[in-house]
Structure 1
Amino acid sequence: MAGSGLVAAVACGCAPVGGSEDGRAPGAPTGVTARAGSATSVHVMWNAVAAGPEVSAYEVYRGGKKVGDVPGSAHMLDVVRLTPSTAYVFTVRARDAVGRLGPRSVEVRATTPAAAAADRSPPTTPGGVTGRAAGGRAVQLSWSASTDDRGIVSYDVYQGDTKIHSVGGGQTATVVTGLRPHTRYSFTVRARDAADNVSPAGPPVRLTTPTGADEGPDTAPGGFRALSRLADGAYYLDLSWTPPRVDGVVTEYQIELDGRPATSLVWGGAPPRGKAAYSFYAGREARVGHRVRLRARLPDGTWGAFSVERTVTTGESA
């Protein structure tokens, strides 16, 4: 196996990781990230925890102090009233509908930038904002960079009047997931600088997601390859891919072999941001053909689209 902290659950059905189906507390949230939104705020995000009974809320901690509660339908929080030029540590816990608290997530760190003295000038409005539906449950948004006399720290994405996401100041595109099929949405983007000056909203992008629960190709892993390898008298399938570019960190994948779920992969540590790889046992017989593809569990807790399907035969090279 490749990747830090990678765990494989072989030949699973594949039940949600982090669940509490038999009365246990929810699992620890995965995919936790923290990014400075300004000199006095940090944007914390995490992946939805699948649990039964379902998660009712998430608790966010700065060090050992709880700094926020958000409903179970959300997986982000802006932690505000921070000190400029300061390093902070954050963790997240899930709480289920009967009040059980799960363990804390891994710690993530963020450092707020220095405050800009007497900076009252907001960034320019993001321009060229465009979007398109990426299946029934996701949209892809992009915009042109704003300018600011001290530099852009982040971009905030709004759905109507509600802030739903934040990305770093060097990023000008994102895929927003967790939407409803056959629903009309309006999105806007605002730029933010280190002094918490916020630009006017860019022009709204109005989109209607198509009917059906199609996840859309933008939520599928890319560059998927499958090769056969012989080692110690047995054949293995070596897989590689790049994670889908969605609004968060992907920590779990499901591999389908010959039309059936075969393996669930979960990164307990930091998942790869670039190419990911995994190898699994395929038997000792040569010239056996297999069909293989995989999909990612998205940060909102739903499954994304499958990758392209590859056919590989044991004992044959690419």
Structure 2
Amino acid sequence: MRRPLLRTAVVWGALLTTVSCGTNGQGTGEDGRPPAAPAGVTAAAGSATSVHVMWNRASGKPEVTRYEVYRGATKVKEVPGSEYMVDITRLKPSTRYAFSVRARDADGRLGPPSEQVRATTPTAAAADGRAPSRPERPRGKAVGSRAAQLSWARSTDDLGVASYDVYQGTTKIHSVGGAQTATVVTGLRPGTRYSFTVRARDAADNVSPASGAVRITTPPGSGDGKGVDSGTGMAPTAFRATTHREDGAHYLDLSWTRPDVDGVITEYQIQLDRKPVTSLVWGATPPPGRATYSFYVGREAGLTQRVRIRAKLPDGTWGAFSKERTVTTGRTAQP
């Protein structure tokens, strides 16, 4: 059955929306084209002179062999295709930077740049030789077979914590801003035991002692290799979908409860028939309670589609999808 073209979404509440139709940016490269632009790129200041950049693995054949990271139009880093994060150092304090990532495949083809993300380095602290306190009360749990949720108590510092670094064993694997005390680590293996620690960093690059170790064993399961999308955690709950008709047009009405995470969630992605169609972005702090959203889906009655939603977590990674609902324009949604 044909899919209607999306028009400008109808917004309910204090929502700002951007509409993006088509795939999620994870191209195939199977027809001789270069790899697609990496998706899920985030950037967070690690100190007054560094920014931590992360992205999602770009799929496709031939496989991606390396990623190139750009500051503006200048390439500043290159990492192997097995790595999806890097620290950009030697930056200036109190400066706003824009970063993007490009993938290069085994045949040497360079894909287009990702969407630019921005981060501002904090003010440098003069003669600051005191490291933040050690993060206390670290906790964690497996979220599906390929992800883990970590949390810890806030560290103290005489001039403020700029970021928290997450380590797997002795290797730094993730970083979040100093205002966050929780994150989701993705890309894990099913049925595997892991040990994580957290260190706090201030604007002068002083690093705290490591927190106590959090040991997590992921449950068995194949998953799909895409992190939290494979698990059942960090998903919006009590997701409902109905339709209504107004002035001859049909609208999809959604409601859900936000994932239980530390921090504010301001962005969601909606998929119809497993394809992204709309991103919802709050321009301010989201209202409390259940979230609601309604958007135009066409004028055809009897059109059946599957709908689901996921949240962008406070650390910039995508959470798991909600339960999928089936709706038919002009009819009541499937429970």
Alignment of structure 1 residues 46-57 onto 2, 5 Å = 46-57=55-66
Is contact 2:274–2:307 with CA below 8 Å preserved after alignment? Answer: no
Q: What is the aligned counterpart of 1:294 among 288, 308, 318? A: 308
Q: Is the 8 A contact 1:31 1:250 kept in 2?
A: no
Q: Is the 8 A contact 2:308 2:325 kept in 1?
A: no
| Residue matched to 2:275 | 264
Deviation of 1:233 after TM superposition, in Å, equals 3.4
Taking the aligned partners of 1:280 and 1:162, their CA distance within structure 2 comes to 47
Counterpart in 2 of 1:280? 297
- Contact 2:307/2:324 (<8 A) preserved: yes
Q: How does 1:2-21 map to 2 (within 5 A)?
A: 2=9, 4-9=17-22, 17-21=26-30
Shift, 1:297, TM fit: 10
Distance 1:250 1:232, change over 3 A: closer
User: Conserved in 1, the CA contact under 8 Å of 2:138 and 2:150?
Assistant: yes
The change in CA–CA distance for 1:93 and 1:309 in structure 2 (over 3 A counts) is closer
The answer to whether the 8 A contact 1:295-1:303 is kept is no
Alignment length, in residue pairs? Answer: 300
C-alpha displacement at 1:102, in angstroms? 0.7
Aligned residue identity for 1:83: K
1:94 aligns with 103
Q: Which amino acid aligns with 2:297?
A: F
- 8 Å contact 2:307–2:327 — kept in the other structure? no
Q: After superposition, what is the alpha-carbon deviation per residue over 1:291-311, rounded to whole angstroms, capped at 9, x for unaligned?
A: 844265999xx9975422446
Match of 1:217 in 2: 232
Alignment match of 2:128 (pick from 99, 119, 126): 119
Is the contact between residue 31 and residue 249 of structure 1 (CA under 8 Å) also seen in structure 2? no
Counterpart residue type for residue 60 of structure 2 = A
Cα distance between partner residues in 2 of 1:194 and 1:177: 27
The answer to whether 1:36 aligns with 2:53 is no
Cα offset, 1:225, TM superposition: 2.6
Match of 2:322 in 1: 307
Is residue 2:176 matched to residue 1:167? yes
- Give the deviation of 1:272 after TM superposition: 2.7
Query: TM-score normalized by structure 1?
Result: 0.81
Distance 1:195 1:122 in 2: 9
The Cα of 1:107 is off from its aligned counterpart by 2.3
Q: CA deviation at 1:250?
A: 8.1
Contact 2:253–2:292, Cα closer than 8 Å, also in 1 = no
User: Gaps spanning 5+ residues in structure 2: where?
Assistant: 1-5, 10-15, 224-229
- Equivalent residues of 1:220, 1:305 under 8 A apart: yes
> What does the per-residue CA deviation read over 1:35-60, in whole Å, with 9 as the maximum and x for residues that have no partner?
11101101112222222222211100
1:238 corresponds to which residue? 253
Q: Give me the TM-score of the superposition, normalised by structure 2.
A: 0.77
Q: Is the 8 A contact 1:242 1:276 kept in 2?
A: no
CA contact (8 A) 2:24 2:276 kept: no
Displacement after TM superposition at 1:180 (Å):
0.5
Give the CA deviation at 1:73. Answer: 2.4
Q: What residue is the counterpart of 2:13 in the other structure?
A: none
Displacement of 1:170:
0.7
Between 207-216 and 167-176, report the one with greater CA deviation. Answer: 207-216
Partners of 1:183 and 1:76 in 2: CA distance: 22
The 1:8–1:64 alpha-carbon spacing in structure 2 relative to 1, beyond 3 Å, is closer
Letter in 2 for 1:153: A
Contact 2:245 2:251 in 1 (8 A): yes
The whole-number CA distance in structure 2 between the counterparts of 1:41 and 1:27 is 27
Cα offset for 1:145?
A: 0.3
Looking at structure 1, the residues matched to 17 and 63 of structure 2 have their Cα atoms a distance apart, in angstroms, of 28
1:259 matched residue in structure 2 = none
SS of alignment partner, residue 233 of structure 2: helix
1:264 corresponds to which letter in structure 2? K
- Name structure 1 gaps, 5 residues minimum: 256-261
Structure 1 residue aligned with 2:152? 143
- In structure 1, the partner of 2:226 is none
Question: Equivalent residue for 1:156?
Answer: 165
Q: CA deviation at 1:91?
A: 1.6
The answer as to whether partners of 2:50 and 2:121 remain within 8 angstroms in 1 is yes
Change (3 A) 1:159 1:25: same
1:79 is aligned to 2:88: yes
Pair 4,31 (structure 1): closer, same or farther in 2 beyond 3 Å: farther
Aligned to 2:212: 203
Compared CA separation, residues 198 and 129, structure 1 to 2 (3 A):
same
